[in-house]
Structure 1
Amino acid sequence: METIRGKVSKVKIIKMSERPLVYFKVDDVSCLIATHSLTFLADVAEGSRIAVAGEFNSRKQFVCRKYAVLGKPQIVVEFERSRYPHRVK
């Protein structure tokens, strides 16, 4: 398995199904993810820094098996920017 680190520049949903197929670019490398694509969409936005592990297919696209967000995931950033008050325990 190879590892690529970089900044996400494009995120597109290629195929909507039970497991959506998502296309994204990491520093000019075309990547695809299907296995954890819904959590990927919640965690990553354009401009996020990520590390992905996987292998290249016959079309020179990187098929992502694992990913990790370097920094805060997008869903946490959205929650922190929320205008609603946080719950007090």
Structure 2
Amino acid sequence: MKTIRGTVSKIRIIKMTASPLVYFKLGETNCLIAAHSLSFLAEAAEGCEMVVGGKFNSRNQFVCRRYAVIGKPQIVIEYEKSMYPHRKRV
């Protein structure tokens, strides 16, 4: 398994099924993810730093098996920017 680190750009949904096929570009590498694509869409955003693990297919596209967002995931950023008040801890 190879690992690649870079900045995410061009996030596109290729195929809508129970687990969608998602295309994204990591630096200059074309990447595909299907295994954890719904959580990927929630956590990744264009411009975020990410590390992915996987292998290249016959079309020289990187098929991701694992990923990790460096810094805060997008869903956390959206929660912190939420206009609704946070619950007070007792």
TM-score range, shorter chain: over 0.9
Q: Give the ranges of 4+ consecutive aligned residues of structure 1 lying more than 6 Å apart after TM superposition.
A: none
> Aligned partners of 2:66 and 2:48: how far apart in 1?
16
- Structure 1 gap segments, 5+ residues each: none
Other-structure match for 1:64: 64
Amino acid at match of 2:7: K
Alignment of 1:28-67 (within 5 A): 28-67=28-67
SS in 1 for 2:60: coil
Offset of residue 9 of structure 1? 1.0
**1:38 & 1:8 partners in 2: Cα distance?**
16
The CA RMSD measured in Å over matched residues stands at 0.5
Q: 1:39, CA displacement in angstroms?
A: 0.1
Unaligned runs of 5+ in 2: none
Query: What is the count of residue pairs matched by the alignment?
Result: 89
Following superposition, the deviation at residue 5 of structure 1 comes to 0.2
* Percent of paired sites with the same residue: 65
Question: Under a length normalisation based on structure 1, what TM-score does the superposition of the two structures give?
Answer: 0.98
2:76 counterpart residue number: 76
